[in-house]
Amino acid sequence: MGNGVREGPVEFQRDVEPITARIPAEDNQEKKKVLNSLMSGALAGAVAKTAVAPLDRTKIMFQVSSKRFSAKEAYRLIYHTYLNEGFWSLWRGNSATMVRVIPYAAIQFCAHEEYKQILGNYYGFQGKALTPFPRFIAGSLAGTTAAMVTYPLDMVRARMAVTPKEMYSSIVHVFIRISREEGLKTLYRGFTPTILGVIPYAGLSFFTYETLKKVHAEHSGRAQPSPPERLLFGACAGLIGQSASYPLDVVRRRMQTAGVLGHTYSSILLTMQDIVREEGLVRGLYKGLSMNWVKGPIAVGISFTTFDLTQILLRKLQHGPGLQR
């Protein structure tokens, strides 16, 4: 009987010890996964946006003006900007873009990975690809989360893109002048159309990219697409996502830059009505869309590809060459 009492604690300790040892290891793995997603997302956003910054600035300048858009006019604007302000002026506002896009992309990609896991557990798809509806929801939630956190930086970037460099000397200067002259609420002007646009844009972008990768794996027999294939899938995702949400992007830019361009836009519907009345439905709400069909797929393709390849590289460095995404 005495022997039984002594043996009980020994057996209990032997059973519990592996469990307590596993918990910190699982926590560390989860932390590494989140950190990898944040780093990969930040790099993906920075590379993609820098690559298309001149086209992005040109698109914004057309979106916030009543000038009719055409490829010829866009080229003329880029060329005149280059002649009058120099080559690097084509990237004016890109520093503000980086300040916004790096945290935005990091949060969006990281949130997407987490939402995929949460929805996978909820719907019982642990370790498997999500079905179409949860796939769309994961993308929409990821985009909404990132937009809510970084919106004031998007406002600053839009202001810097459409104003001469003498007006705002730095990102901090934009914040100070807007706060003093227009009030802090101005930093969130255009927030509602942004969120309404992000839901279909991010949802369709992530949905399309993930779906194309899944279809590719089923038909090719290869678990991972090649980098050119990833670029193509990302380009398709960007084309579909941006086309679906483009009118709200125009409305958002008009509301963001109203204070410096002499307009007053009080709501989404009134802004849309003003644009349609002055410029027409297609020419107004879809102004610059053809340029988006050039720059959007390039940017989204680069972004998704950079994220995936960086994830794979980081996992190889941490766990050896056998593990891939």
Task: Give the separation between CA 37 and CA 111, rounded to whole angstroms.
Answer: 9
Asked whether residue 10 is assigned to any structural domain, the reply reads no
Specify the pLDDT at position 317. 85
pLDDT in tens, 102-145: 999 999 999 999 999 999 888 777 666 788 899 999 999 999 99
209: nearest Cα among 101, 86, 77, 297: 297
Check whether 18 has a pLDDT greater than 60. Answer: no
In a domain, 213, yes or no: yes
Say which residue the tokens 């998704």 belong to: 304
Question: For residues 89 and 87, what is the distance between their CA atoms, to the nearest angstrom?
Answer: 5
Sorted by sequence, the CB contacts under 8 Å of residue 69 that are 6+ apart come out as 62, 283, 287, 288, 290, 291
The pLDDT of residue 199 is: 94
Q: Is 145 a domain residue?
A: no
First-to-final CA distance of the chain: 55
In a domain, 244, yes or no: yes
Sequence-separated (6 or more) residues with CB below 8 Å from residue 66: 278, 279
What average pLDDT does the structure give for the chain? 83
pLDDT over 80 (residue 288): no
Q: What is the extent of the structural domain holding 195?
A: 189-279
- Is the residue at 109 inside a domain? no
Domain membership flag for residue 225 = yes
- Go through 145-159 and write b for each residue having 16 or more CB atoms within 10 A of its CB, e for each that does not: bbbeebbbbbbbbbb
Chain Cα centroid distance, residue 70: 27
What is the distance between the alpha carbons of residues 113 and 184, in angstroms, rounded to a whole number? 33
Which has more pLDDT, 251 or 92?
251
Residue 195, in any domain of the structure? yes
Residue 222 placed within a domain? yes
**Cα 280 from chain centroid?**
29
**How many domains does one find in the chain?**
1
pLDDT single digits (tens) 221-250: 888 899 999 999 999 999 999 888 888 888
